[in-house]
Structure 1
Amino acid sequence: MSLRYQLNIRILFSSLCILILGGSIAIWQARHAVEKEIDSSINLALQLITFSLSRASQTTPTETDWLARLNSLKETRHLSIQLKKPSGQIINITHDKLATDAGNRPPQWFIDLVGAQYPKAEHQITSPSGEHITLLIMADPLDEITEVWQESMAFFSSIFFLTLFTFLAVHMVFNKAIKAIAVIVDALKVIETGQYQQKLPKFSTQEYDSIARAINHMTGVLNEAKQQNRSLTQHSLAIQEDERQRLAQELHDELGQSLTAIKVMAVTAAHEKANVSKSTESIISICDHLMTVVRSMMHQLHPLILTELGLKATLEDLLDHWSARHPELSLAMACSDEVDHLEQKITIQVFRVVQECLTNIVRHAQANKVTIDLEIGHEFGARKLLRLEVKDDGKGGSPEMIKSGFGLLGMRERITSLGGEFTIQTQPQQGMNIIASIPLT
């Protein structure tokens, strides 16, 4: 069910409830007003008759004066006044002017709802001729019901037009809102396909404009991340290809030439006049060189010490290696023994991050001092957290440089792949501080 249909149904239902409630209240008030008006008219008529007869008793009225006084009661509203003679003859004194107009008569259902059983008053009077006549006063609320009907029609018309106006106004507002939602949904469908260049327009409604800005910001971040991942993938493929080419070159230059030399020495040693001892020494020397080359290649591919002795010993060996190559650089490390019990996937990634940090510092930072802190702590909630911090006093860098560096991007991806957080704190000429936090299971 669409949002537009749901809103229309709810607005229509609310309008009907308002009309029904307003109609019920109007009918109740009309019934109460008619009853009150009828009671007042009957009491007024009785008081007028009593007063008139009391004045008539003080004088000796003629038959004509007496009838004239009774005829004056015909102007009394909402009542039917009749005279009943002893012979049973009925004389109508009043008549309903509104009731005679059929065009003003309200519907019968309204008369039934508003009308009620009203009391009938009888009063015994004596005519100047001494005849005892019964004065019948009965309620005739039709004119009052007609007036109430006209007032109710005006009230209902007002409510109907106000409800219609409200319905149209709300419908226009929601129609505008639904159009804005449709624009957002269409844009999200485009973004869902991976087209992060899609941007939402500016909306006049503040809430929708905030949503549009948030989505535009999100697509901008996603597009930037997509471009970074694409660049990082291309860079990784290029590095992988360069590494394969370098390994192939080393295998050709070192292993190929050394094996060829060993083969030549072995062939030479097969001759009777050959100097076997000299050939043997040459073969041994070449084999030692090969072992050094193979060990170096294996360390570049995957340090065996990491599996055999653990992360702490591997990092200490890495720092000794860099200290030997760059004695002017002061390297210090604080590492807990607990890191040797980490999972293999975490160990290798942390080692590669430290290795990349040291490589960047030596190549670009021009630093004099580097400190490495690696410890296992507890965050809020008693969950274990591995925290790595590599800090140098080099020349630092700008945010633009941080975003464009493939080494930093690669480190961020390694930490993120472990569910951790990677933070870089740096300012030009103020060094760089790299902090990585990895949750431990």
Structure 2
Amino acid sequence: MRLVLQLVARLLLIVVLCLGAATVWATFDAYRSVDRATAASAQRVAKALQALYWHELLLRSNRMREHLLPVPDWRTIETMKLISPGVCVEFQPAAAFEKPLCGQNQGIGKIPPRWFAAIVPTFLGSHAEVVRPVSPRAAAAGTVVATPDAAAAISLAWEYILNVVGVALLMSAAIALLASLAIAHALAPARAIVTALQRMARGQYRTKLPRFRSMELAMIGEAVGELGARLEEATEQRAALTRRLIEIRDDERRALARELHDEFGQNLSAILAFANTIETAAARESKDNGTAQDARMISQATHRIMASLRDTLKRLRNPLPEELGLEASLVNLVDRWRSQSAAQPTIQLDLKGDLADISGPAATTAYRVAQECLTNALRHSAAREISLHIERRSGGDDALLIRVEDDGGGDAERVARSAGFGLTGIRERVAAAGGSLSILPATRGLSVAATIPLAA
């Protein structure tokens, strides 16, 4: 999942958790707010009755009476204003036929669902009545008892919760949207960093990133730039080292070819001469035909060894492109494979572009790649047809493309992972020339393609 989506998902999870916590808090606060309203109503009504009580005592000029009878008339509109909606207030001791004075119950709050009306009282408990004395200094003045209406309390709590949750939802949606936009804007440079890393993976190490405003992203950009510079430097050093190793190896091969030619060739010639002399002498005497036959077998074995030595010297000495040129050496390579056996698969050679001026390491590398790919296709597959395609791409992209395709099947991934000496050698040569090598599946087999830049 993309980083932006992950952060937004986590943000939404946090918002949902906060919204749930806000809902629980709103439920508790709304339910207990009824208790606070009940206590406040009892306190206000008690103060109002206290004023009436002392006023009535002063009018009658009887401060020593323990109880005032009858109770002053307190059921007025002014007293109704002191009672919160959903709360009933009762004066005790109550007079005969007196009913509690209740605040407005009709139309307050919203009708809650049944599950809410059943769950909330179970977990939060019921509302208790609140008792307040009319006068703390005169116990005989009576008390005020305020009792909340349970149905009205649930309705008020449900309405309060809906209002709080509605505001919380709007705020959560706004926070989530704005935070998502902020996160997306803050992480937008990450796409440029990923693109730069992808270019570096393709070999374009000198990748310049824009300057980011965020300090962390700016540090990442600088680190990517430094990494690209170091990778390019290391690649150049490795290519130079590989070229030097190839040169040393070629020098060693040429030196070995000279030693084999001088030492083994001379000794084999001597053996052949001695065998011919023995055969001639034995033929003159005509008495010991076994000696002549042995000498003849020695001569034949010596000729076979000399032929094998000549083939070895051909492989060890300088490659053909340095003598014949790339085009002629490729034609010679294909003709040599064709002439070895009539049972060999058909080899098609396709040359495009001007190959006359290609020489040096590029020509040698192209020849070795074609030689190794043809050898692998002929020895390790049941191919019936092999195509060798050589194309020079001129213009700004001056490069040489070598592609060998066969119809012998094969697993491209397994071959690409192979650590054989042949593939390892051409990988090293192509990398030393600054090129690239790819092994991909073809229509009915494998396709090995190498690109060698000629400008380098």
Q: Same fold (TM over 0.5)?
A: no
Per the normalisation by structure 2, the TM-score is 0.41
- For CA contacts below 8 A with separation 6 or more, give which structure has more relative contact order: 2
Q: Normalising to structure 1: TM-score of the pair?
A: 0.42
